[in-house]
Amino acid sequence: MKELRDKVAVITGAASGIGRATARRLGAQGMKLVVADVEGTALQETAHDLRRSGFEAHPVVADVTQADAVQGLARETLDSFGAVHVVFNNAGVFAGGTAWETTLADYEWVLGVNLWGVIHGLRSFVPILLEQGEPAHVVNTASMAAVTSAPLSGAYVMSKHAVLALSESLYHELRMKQAPIGVSVICPELIATGIGRSERNRPVHLKRSDGPQPAETEMVEDAIRTATAGGADPDVIAQRTLEAIREDRFYVLAPEGDPWRRACDLRLEDLRLARNPSQGGPVQ
Ligand SMILES: NC(=O)c1ccc[n+]([C@@H]2O[C@H](COP(=O)([O-])OP(=O)(O)OC[C@H]3O[C@@H](n4cnc5c(N)ncnc54)[C@H](O)[C@@H]3O)[C@@H](O)[C@H]2O)c1
């Protein structure tokens, strides 16, 4: 999609991190922005900042785990700007732990946001894009976790593998329809965002019990907080996302040489040789 000026972008998880940075990048291209998030106060601040920078930004509080809320987001987008061209399904959360100790609430929350959020985004917005028949682009945020394997993060890793698989199906389907709609899957490495504080957005009905969590859960969640705090600036991903939209690139991976990119190569080699998984996590 070459021409972005005066086109409309919808971004979920836009009140923080990668979503907020990408809203700024797309705004700077002259796009009209619908910024959506479950965290109302942070969202209002984000919309305020964007407007102060001279961008047109309409905030919508929406929980992407809820089909009705995402349908409502699509309606509000059309009511505000009359069309939609870039749909960025980006909201995401992290919870860690072994596959057997991860609670049903943790599985439900992580899959609800990371996978069902994307499913609702596709079901609500792709029919609108097809109906419009104009150049458009769908961007789904996966992770380098989508192309690697890692212990103590099964719910998260599974959600991201599923987003990648769903996006590949979507890509083929849109080609079958000869639709002028591109698809990108963003697979970030470690980025300095609020993901290590995902608990702030956990709904009450899926809250954890008080007190310490299993040792491995605490360990991996601490590690994610530390590792992401030292990660790259979210604008790196915003810039990569912009290029992917412009150049119609599907796979948006960490650069060659990044430990997560090496982990991806190693996993692909394991698969090619039908060899047991060599290593979980980044390859230094
Ligand atoms: N930060 C990293 O290292 C990294 C790496 C790979 C992938 N990602 C992915 O990037 C995406 C963005 O995360 P981030 O790192 O910017 O974290 P972040 O916490 O800074 O931003 C995530 C945003 O999603 C919102 N959100 C959470 N639950 C929601 C819900 N139910 N409905 C709507 N919004 C909701 C949060 O309020 C927050 O504003 C996620 O999908 C994440 O999995 C992040």
Summarised one tens digit per residue, pLDDT across range 34-83 is 999 999 999 999 999 999 999 999 999 999 999 999 999 999 999 999 99
Distance from residue 127's CA to the centre of ligand 1 (Å): 25
Count CB-CB contacts under 10 A for residue 16: 21
- Residue given tokens 């039908």 in the structure block: 274
- Band (pLDDT 50/70/90 cuts) for residue 132 is very high
Please give the Cα distance from 85 to 64 (Å, whole number): 19
- Residues lining ligand 1, judged by CB closer than 6 Å? 12-13, 15-19, 37-39, 63-65, 90-93, 113-114, 141, 143, 188, 190-191, 193-195, 198, 201, 228, 231
- Nearest-atom index, ligand 1, CA of 64: 32
Query: Which residue has the CA at smallest separation from atom 41 of ligand 1?
Result: 92
Best residue among 10, 11, 12, 16 to mutate for probing ligand 1, ranked by most atoms within 8 Å of CB? 16
The pLDDT, as a whole number, for residue 32 is 98
**Mean per-residue pLDDT over the chain, rounded:** 98
The residues near 74 (Cβ < 8 Å, ≥ 6 apart) are: 10, 84, 124, 125, 128
The pLDDT, as a whole number, for residue 162 is 99
Q: What angle do CA 90, 95, 99 make, to 5 degrees?
A: 120
The residues near 245 (Cβ < 8 Å, ≥ 6 apart) are: 1, 4, 86, 137, 139, 182, 184
The residues near 161 (Cβ < 8 Å, ≥ 6 apart) are: 142, 145, 146
The pLDDT, as a whole number, for residue 249 is 98
In total, the chain counts a number of residues equal to 284
At 231-252, the pLDDT tens digits run: 999 999 999 999 999 999 999 9
- Band (pLDDT 50/70/90 cuts) for residue 255 is very high
Q: What percent of the chain has pLDDT over 90?
A: 99
pTM of the model: 0.98
Q: Which domains does the chain have, with CATH numbers?
A: 8-253 (3.40.50.720), 258-284 (no CATH)
Contact (Cβ atoms closer than 8 angstroms) between residue 260 and residue 189: yes
- Band (pLDDT 50/70/90 cuts) for residue 92 is very high
The pLDDT, as a whole number, for residue 10 is 99
At 258-281, the pLDDT tens digits run: 999 999 999 999 999 999 999 899
The pLDDT, as a whole number, for residue 84 is 98
**CA quadruple 176, 169, 124, 88: dihedral positive or negative?**
negative
